Copies of this chain bind each other. A is one copy, B any other.
């Protein structure tokens, strides 16, 4: 932590800061410049959490130099983590493809899609049973019934399954039916839900919030891991910007940034990021080229009739073409697919 003093801060203000810090058992190093004085702080910063030195006299600003997340931090865990979900491993050696409908609509539909995505090479079946929708009048999901269909689809196809959860009730149900749970973008800072996901014991796919910085996203992961559940996979799905040509702006830079900051795997969801079917394939390839550990892709047997997010869903044929095209990209990044 570095404390930058205002220009011409009197010695008394500097002394006050130093005294406050040393009383808590930390050390200070002072650099006096012509314009400003800076005070480097060494020791356990958590002891200063109630000091609010930002508003001490003549303090200009405080610059943190260490991250608040520890368990998710690559500095303390340099090797990339491999997260197991069902019979799938997500990490540096594989390209994991999660595919399926935005929303589970019926058992027949889910089964049909499950067989199709499996045939095309997907490892994990996605399907929403609890749907967070902007309007209360839009289809909200089949809830536990949808989860049951997921279990049946897994039994039939052997695919690993993942489902979004939006409440403790949903987590409690998900534990009984699926292999992995997902925290959606809108709930990325629903800390209550993060803690419960941590306690669930299931591996968690943590989507980035629309407006979440990389740092906040990793702190959200830290909430899950701090509950004793280290099985977190990150998912970039677009951030909110001024551009309206796509639903959100897919931030592919997040892939190499995360590879520097954390040991957790990161996958990319080009379907939700763009909201447009035609952009899914080029951005899926780009994600793999950028180093992503996997993809989440929406696939539907009849996108024109999908109850949710039809316009961004691939048909079986489009998905099959995409996975074929992805294979050489997976190979170039040294991944099994």
Residues of A near any B CB (own CB < 8 A): 2, 4, 7, 27-36, 38, 40-43, 46, 49-52, 54-56, 60, 63, 65-66, 68-69, 75, 130, 132-140, 166-168, 170, 186-187, 189-193, 195, 209-211, 213-216, 219, 222-223, 226, 239-246, 249-257, 260-261, 273-274, 277-279, 282-283, 285-291, 303-307, 310-311, 328-329, 332
Contacts and interface: CB of A to CB of B under 8 A. Distances in A.
A263 B290 CA distance: 26
Contact of A166 (B192, B245, B286, B290): B192
Contacts of A75: 7, 35
B214 A192 contact: no
A282 B279 CA distance: 19
A211 B138 CA distance: 21
A216 B250 contact: no
Chain copies in the assembled complex: 4
Interface SS of chain A: mixed
Contacts of A35: 66, 75
Contacts of A139: 49
A41 B209 CA distance: 34
Contacts of A51: 304-305
A52 B192 contact: no
B253 A245 contact: yes
Q: Identify the interface centre among A2, A286, A328: most chain B CB within 10 Å of its CB.
A: A286
Contacts of A209: 211
A241 B245 contact: no
A326 to B, nearest CB: 10
Contacts of A7: 75
Q: Identify the interface centre among A34, A51, A135, A260: most chain B CB within 10 Å of its CB.
A: A135
B282 A256 contact: yes
